[in-house]
Structure 1
Amino acid sequence: MPRLFTGLEIPAELGVRLSMLRGGLFGATWIDPENYHITLRFVGDIDDRTAEEVASELGRIRRRAFEVSLEEIDSFGGRQPHSVVAKVGAKNGIMELQAEHERVMQRLGLEPEPRRFTPHVTIARTKGASNRAVADWLAIRGGLFGAQFKAARFVLFSSRSSRGGGPYVIEESYPLAA
């Protein structure tokens, strides 16, 4: 039974830039740069037939390519941060694509995503780090980031259940119109 999600890949040169932030946070589990991505819709563990339906329906999506901007290094989790992330500017292109992915999954009978979509790239998992350590790390390395790339396609990823994320495999890719 595959575990699937849709997302945007991060260009290699941007992955290198994000990876330069690694280190200096005791207890953090750093994500490997080849596994950086922006999740659009988590699909979950599904049977092979449903996976084929998901892949087919995603192929019907027709959207234009759009700019994605990574704007800030921050954390998720409030008083007990669980992740260090690069936050994505919530522009129309990414929000509309994600909403369409959500509609596709619901038409196929999958449960609605319960969380509000907040586009981001996870850099590290921080469940082993204290909130003070995360705050100190962000004081030095966090804040404005400023990077852009053009999303020319979205992909259907598969993963195995693991701690820390990855490795992720691209099962299908879907071009966005120029």
Structure 2
Amino acid sequence: MPRLFTGLEVPRHVADVLALKRGGLHGARWIDPENYHITLRFIGDVDHNTANEVADMLDHLVNSEAFTIRLDHLGTFGGDKPRALYAGANPNAALSRLQAAQERVLQRLGLRPEGRKFLPHVALARLRNVSPIDVAQSIAFAGHFGPYEFPVERFVLYSSRDSVGGGPYRVEETYPLAA
């Protein structure tokens, strides 16, 4: 069974800059820069027939418009028990429309709705047994952050192996966005 999700690729020049934020945080499992992406919709483990239906249905979204992403801050998920460090993207209307359109298409296929609110970000590290103070100090030590902008001209259907996250990810299909 493939494990699928849709996302946006992070260009190499931006990934290289984000990778400079790696290190100095005990308990962080840093994600390799070639696996940086912005998840639009986690689909999960599906059978091969469903995977083919997903790939076909996403073709109907190619009329979505191209846009620009702006990464403008570092943040964490998990509150008092941080579990991830990320580079946050500034939401914009085109990004929100693309994500919402994917959600609608995938629900029409019978997939369960995404339970979490969409928060566009690039995961940089998975955290385990890291105190919030250590994370805050690491973010402060990282210094000035961006902003880093890049154009988005397509979205991607990714597959991943069953793991705790962080890759490796494989591009299964690409879907161009209208200029």
**Unaligned residue ranges in structure 1 (runs of 5+):** none
Alignment partner, residue 44 of structure 1: 44
DSSP 3-state at the match of 1:111: coil
Distance in 2, matches of 1:143 and 1:85, equals 15
Matched, 1:11 2:21: no
Matching residue's letter, 2:10? I
Instruction: Report the equivalent of 1:94.
Output: 95
Whether 1:56 aligns to 2:53 is: no
Tell me if structure 2 keeps the 8 A contact 1:28–1:126. Answer: yes
Secondary structure in 2 matching 1:158: strand
Q: Quote the residue 1:125 is aligned against.
A: 126
Gaps of 5+ in 2: none
* Deviations 1:51-100, CA, capped at 9 Å, x for gaps: 00000000111111101100101211111111110000010111110000
- One-letter amino acid of the counterpart of residue 46, structure 1: V
TM-score, structure 1 length as denominator? 0.97
Q: Distance in 2 between matches of 1:38 and 1:143?
A: 21
Equivalent position SS for 1:136: helix
The letter of the residue matching 2:110 is G
Q: Which residue of 1 aligns with 2:71?
A: 70
Q: 1:164 to 1:108 in 2, by over 3 A?
A: closer
Paired with 2:100 and 2:115, the residues of 1 have a C-alpha distance of 13
Equivalent-residue separation in structure 2 for 1:74 and 1:145 (angstroms):
13
Matching of residue 108 in structure 1 with residue 93 in structure 2: no
Which segments of structure 1 move beyond 6 Å, counting only runs of 4 or more? none
RMSD: 1.1
Q: CA shift at 1:101, angstroms?
A: 0.6
Displacement after TM superposition at 1:143 (Å): 6.1
Q: Which residue of 1 aligns with 2:146?
A: 145
* Cα deviation, residue 112, structure 1: 0.3
TM-score by length of 2: 0.96
Give me the identity figure in percent: 52
The verdict on how the C-alpha distance between 1:142 and 1:50 changes in structure 2, with shifts beyond 3 A counting, is: farther
